[in-house]
Amino acid sequence: MKFGQQLRSSIIREYQWHYIDYDGLKADLKRASGPLVASSDPTKPPRREWTEDDESRFVSKLEAELDKVHAKQQVKAMEISRRIAVSEREVQDVVGRLQDRGPGQEGPSEEEFMLLEEDLSDIIADVHDLAKFVQVNYTGFYKIIKKHDKMTGWRLKPVFDTRLKAKPFYKENYDASVVRLSKLYDLVRTRGNPAKGDTAAGASQGSFIRHTTKYWVHPDNVTELKLIILKHLPVLVFNPSKEFETQDTAITSVYFDNPDTWELYEGRLKKNEGAEAIRLRWYGGMQTETIFVERKTHREDWTGEKSVKARFSLKEKNVNAYLRGELLPKAIFEKARKEGKKSAKAIDEDERLAREIQYSILKRGYKPVCRSFYHRTAFQLPADARVRISLDTELTMIREDNLDGVRRSGDNWRRMDIGIDYPFSQLPPGDIVRFPYAILEVKLQTQLGQEPPEWVRQLTSSHLVEAVPKFSKFIHGVATLFPTRIHLLPYWMPQMDVDIRKPPTHDFGIKRTEQSATTSISDDDDEEEEEDSDMEQEKTTPPREGETSAAAAAAAAGARNGRALPAGADIEDQTIDRPTAPGPGDGTYLYDSDDEDLSDSDRLAEARRVGPWAYYTTLASTKARAAGRTTLHVLKWLVPRPRSTPMPRNARLESLLGTGEIQTRRFKAPRGKRIHVPVRVEPKVYFAAERTFLGWLEYSIYISTIAVTLLNFGSRAKDETSSSSISVSLSHRKVSFIAAAAFTVLAILSLMYAVVVYLYRSQAIRERRVARYYDKWGPSALCFALLVAVGLNFGLEGRKRGVW
């Protein structure tokens, strides 16, 4: 969809006079006043040159549009802040009256709570609308500036970046509003009785088991997703007694591995039974004293166990001594035993874990290799882990090693030249990778056979998320930060070049009690200029602080990932331009390039306006392509081949993928690397391969038995015949021998084929390769060979008996 059309279709009535005048700015670009200049393309008419007066006129109008958008954003943001403050006072008043009522006194009515809930829902819708307003306007400025630079040849983007920083309407952070709204909505939803419990980070999380699914979320959808979730689950605030700060949501982890063998990376990537990941994690800034030492262990489903994360806490000043083996686990927990705050059993388990991790680090040579940083917004009822949803934004991977001679962390367990100052613009491009999406984790603890809540199922099947099973920050960080050392890549790496935004598939999202009508600022739907038809898909998410200084880092990160940036590509925030892969349905993504592919009729109409020669040339090429497509379809229909049976699509599949045709894409790994696709291997897989092999042996034995029977019976028949009559011909005596030989060769070939296939499948299963485990030709070849052997025996025997 063109951006101009998308803008007109998404306008909210309240903001309709405050959007960027995209059509007016686009029309202004076509009103150049300079002398005529011949076009390099002979099929296009000459155009007027863009002059300094034209540039001044355009910049003045662009400045006016920026002032208009910025003023509206500031006014609306202050209005929302005031409305939240008023709602806080009203909710506290109602809840206070509920808690202070005496015996026999009536508390607040249900109607009061319903009115408060409607008011909060309206504020949530306002935050959602403002976020969409900011996003679409930033997209409009980004696109019109790029169109200006391309059409006029004047470079406006570097100058206008400074103006945007002076009026940063796109840098509004809604996290504080989300936390405040979540607390109020939870109070009203529970009628003044919110769930209570221990919410301290790491305070009560020792060893726990969850069923986790992971999704990617495009930055355009992050705010909307948060607002949807807070209406069902409150934001998990670790310290409710203090004012919310951005650093409260920061989480940093340092991952360990052996830089020579990368055994932890490969084990986690291949999902080997018992594969481990060892990391040191802390919450908040670098001044945090408590460090959590964690070990994640993968368990296969067939073992009957679940993957487990176990951890214990350690003081930051003791980390280096612990990793070097100078501080023993017994000394770490000596103080805890004396204080008696934890049970002796829990302390023993922590001590055993500390001993095992320390032994693995010293024995196997594990060292810090990669750091992950992100801001986490967690949604969960306190002390209730049945449903926990976390959203990680600003995900960044940073090198921690000293492999290439650069002293990053030195002898310390972590590097100290950075903290939580995202986007870490002080780091060189080779040390950092900024992940372009947010990570949504849905963690459920449900009983056997119990379904997750309906709203969770709707959320995970909506257009707001993209499922990426088994995604790992550790695996992605190592794969992207060490491109020359890692040759086995995770399966999601090719998907990084695909735009994950999708059109809405079902009615799900933020709604008002009375929906705000959308309107259109213009009914004019002009076609864009043809010279813009090659504009690629752009990143249109508003950047955060420090994005410009990180442009070179993002560009280098994209080059390391094997994605060469197009000439003149714009870097915005942590994301590079991601051109979509060619294929049907590419135009369904939001904010796609301004031009669409012309149909044959449009192309002919355009050629008719150019001239007769262009028209007849275009007509001939159009007819030739149509004839070629028809011929190809006919040949495909005539060639005999297996054809799939069309199956009706169920309602769940339609809700996930829509009613259109499902397209698949084939991805190819970069040169010298392989894409690893997870393969589930259970003991029954080995037994199935053995049963198949034994089945082939069984049929081979049957065939060989037939051959032996024919051979032995034919020899006795020939001896009896020779004593009674000498007139039997040589060909008749060889009938049984020829038939027996045919069955013998068939039995030997089937035995050899069964052995080769069994050895191939066994090796593929052991190596967890995505091999072809089904047999496409073997059974068909066996049936055909049996038909030939039986036919040969029948024909020779009939000739012997004189039937023909």
Which whole number is the average pLDDT over 682-701? Answer: 86
Q: What is the pLDDT of residue 633?
A: 77
What class does CATH assign to 207-497? alpha beta
Interatomic CA distance for residues 571 and 550, integer angstroms: 9
pLDDT tens string 589-613: 333 333 334 456 656 666 665 566 7
- Total count of residues recorded for the chain: 804
Q: Tokens for 117, please give them.
A: 């809930």
Identify the sign of the CA torsion 799, 801, 802, 803. negative
Beta carbons of 481 and 428 less than 8 angstroms apart: no
In b/e form, how buried is each residue of 41-60, taking b as 16+ CB within 10 angstroms?
Answer: eeeeeebeebeeebeeebbe
Task: Name the phi and psi angles at 51, rounded to 5.
Answer: -110, 175
pLDDT of 514 higher than 80: no
Q: What is the pLDDT of residue 643?
A: 61
Amino acid at 570: D
Which whole number is the average pLDDT over 217-226? Answer: 89
In b/e form, how buried is each residue of 389-400, taking b as 16+ CB within 10 angstroms?
Answer: bbbbbbbbbbbb
Q: Tokens for 493, please give them.
A: 């790496």
For residue 656, give the nearest of 470, 428, 458, 520 by alpha carbon. Answer: 458
For residue 47, the cross-strand partners are: 37
Which whole number is the average pLDDT over 549-558? Answer: 38
22 or 40, greater pLDDT: 22
Q: What is the pLDDT of residue 47?
A: 77
Interatomic CA distance for residues 295 and 281, integer angstroms: 11
Which whole number is the average pLDDT over 454-471? Answer: 88
- Banded pLDDT at 264 (limits 50, 70, 90): very high
Q: Identify each DSSP E strand in 569-720 by its residue range.
A: 674-676
Interatomic CA distance for residues 450 and 440, integer angstroms: 22
63 CB contacts (<8 Å, ≥6 apart)?
A: 163
Task: Name the phi and psi angles at 464, rounded to 5.
Answer: -80, -20
pLDDT of 397 higher than 60: yes
Highest mean pLDDT among 125-134, 353-362, 578-587, 697-706: 353-362
Interatomic CA distance for residues 245 and 222, integer angstroms: 19
214 is an active site residue: no
Q: What is the pLDDT of residue 136?
A: 87
Q: Could you tell me if residue 365 is left (phi over 0), alpha (psi between -120 and 50 degrees) or otherwise beta?
A: left
Q: What is the pLDDT of residue 611?
A: 64
pLDDT tens string 501-512: 887 766 677 776
Q: What is the pLDDT of residue 666?
A: 64
Beta carbons of 347 and 333 less than 8 angstroms apart: yes
For residue 673, give the nearest of 560, 565, 575 by alpha carbon. Answer: 560
CA separation, residue 255 to residues 392, 461, 475, 498, 546 (Å)? 17, 32, 10, 28, 26
For residue 281, the cross-strand partners are: 253, 292
Percentage with pLDDT > 90 across the chain: 20
Mapped to the 3 state alphabet, what secondary structure does 32-60 carry? CCCCEECCCCCCCCCEECCCHHHHHHHHH
Interatomic CA distance for residues 790 and 367, integer angstroms: 67
Q: What is the pLDDT of residue 437?
A: 94
Per the annotation, binding residues are 1, 3-5, 22, 26, 30, 147
Highest mean pLDDT among 202-216, 355-369, 539-553, 604-618: 355-369
| Three-class secondary structure of residue 383 per DSSP | coil
Q: What is the pLDDT of residue 281?
A: 95
Q: What is the pLDDT of residue 374?
A: 94
Give the DSSP letter of residue 208: B
Highest mean pLDDT among 32-46, 342-356, 770-784: 342-356
Q: What is the pLDDT of residue 398?
A: 95
Q: What is the pLDDT of residue 251?
A: 94
pLDDT tens string 42-67: 777 777 888 888 889 989 999 999 99
pTM of the model: 0.69
Q: Count of H helices and E strands in the chain? A: 22, 14
- Catalytic: which of 473, 636, 734, 800? 473
Which whole number is the average pLDDT over 189-217? Answer: 65
Beta carbons of 254 and 368 less than 8 angstroms apart: yes
